[in-house]
Amino acid sequence: MPQTAVPRRALVLLVILMIVWGTNWPLFSLAVREISVWTFRSVSVTIAGLLLLAVARARGQSLRIPREHWGTISVATFFYLVVWNIASTYSAILIPSGQSAVLGFTMPLWSALISWAVLGERISARLLAALALGGASVTLLMVPSLATYADAPLGLALGLLAGLGWAVGTLILKRSAVSVPATVLTGWQLLITSVPITAGAFALAEGGWFMPSWQTIVVVAYITIVPMCIGNVSWFAVVNLLPANLAGLSTIMVPMVAMVSGAIVHGEPLGPMQLAAMACCAGALSLALLKPRTVVG
């Protein structure tokens, strides 16, 4: 089957994702120095959701979602945003943020496997090779981590859980064809996410009410506005432009940016194992995105 050329708009959005999501991971540990993971995520998803709906309204978009889509959106939101936000943040605290990002971005591996096992979709040889390289990159990062970090098993499990949740939520939306603008859909999904996470913040947050330092406020505000608002809208737009498997694989450079950012911000390891993992991810991206040349006889 011939490959379809990747739309130029999708490539632009992928560059945006690579930058805003990749530089986001090292900031997680800074955001939760004074507040709990649940409080951090509660504040960020609520404000991000309100901001996106305000932007959509200002652009003249209807905020209405047809009633028949609410069940699908709620289930997809639980897997993609609730599971993702909590699991990925805890993972980035327990193990180096760059390695946590690689585990979270196993999403395309889960997506391809679920599409094959549950949905009966065919996996091309090219995509299989890309998946194999992606799996190799994860293995290169997991093996040394188990011997180095005391909390590595839990951090690794939560990172993989985040990727699985992202894959399930994306596939649900992809197959349901919810014809709603990306800004509106993302805004409502973030507000849906805020309900269980805010309940968790009240139930699990430690200590009383206080005003965090301005540094924490700036970090949380940045994560809320840039990676969460701009990043999520870009992601859902990419999902609409590309098949689910290709959309997931095409973001595989994000954890590579996260690893470099983590090394700069926190002095996280960036040695031969990490560089080899980066090379595997770059190979997977090339196989997923680059269209083979057609030889004309």
Q: What is the mean pLDDT of residues 237-260?
A: 73
Q: List the structure tokens of 260.
A: 């470099």
Closest CA to 88 of 101, 76, 79: 101
- Asked if pLDDT for residue 295 goes beyond 50, the answer is no
* Structural domain contains residue 103: yes
What would the pLDDT profile of 134-193 be if each residue is shown by its tens digit? 788 778 877 777 666 666 788 888 988 999 998 899 888 877 777 788 889 889 999 999
Q: How far apart are CA 266 and CA 184, in angstroms?
A: 36
Proportion of the chain above pLDDT 70, given as a percent: 87
- Asked if pLDDT for residue 230 goes beyond 90, the answer is no
Proportion of the chain above pLDDT 90, given as a percent: 26
Residue 190 is predicted with a pLDDT of 93
Q: How far apart are CA 135 and CA 231, in angstroms?
A: 24
User: Which stretch of 38-52, 151-165, 187-201 has the lowest confidence by average pLDDT?
Assistant: 151-165
The rounded radius of gyration (Å) of the Cα atoms in the chain is 19
How many domains is the chain partitioned into structurally? 1
* Structural domain contains residue 116: yes
Q: What is the mean pLDDT of residues 256-270?
A: 86
Residue 1 is predicted with a pLDDT of 40
Angle at 81 between CA 35 and CA 72, to 5 degrees: 150
What would the pLDDT profile of 96-124 be if each residue is shown by its tens digit? 888 888 788 778 778 878 888 777 777 77
Coil, strand or helix: which one is 211?
Answer: coil
Q: Mean pLDDT across the chain, nearest whole number?
A: 82
Q: Which domain holds residue 114?
A: 21-60+67-289
* Structural domain contains residue 216: yes
User: What confidence tier does 2 reach under pLDDT thresholds 50, 70, 90?
Assistant: very low
* Structural domain contains residue 11: no
* Structural domain contains residue 160: yes
- Asked if pLDDT for residue 228 goes beyond 50, the answer is yes
- pTM summary value: 0.78
Q: What is the mean pLDDT of residues 80-85?
A: 90
Token pair 């190799």: residue:
136
User: Residue 135 burial by CB count (10 A; 0-12/13-18/19+): exposed, middle or buried?
Assistant: middle
Residue 289 is predicted with a pLDDT of 60
* Structural domain contains residue 297: no
Residue 149 is predicted with a pLDDT of 67
* Structural domain contains residue 16: no
* Structural domain contains residue 12: no
- Asked if pLDDT for residue 57 goes beyond 90, the answer is yes
Q: How far apart are CA 49 and CA 45, in angstroms?
A: 6
User: What confidence tier does 4 reach under pLDDT thresholds 50, 70, 90?
Assistant: low
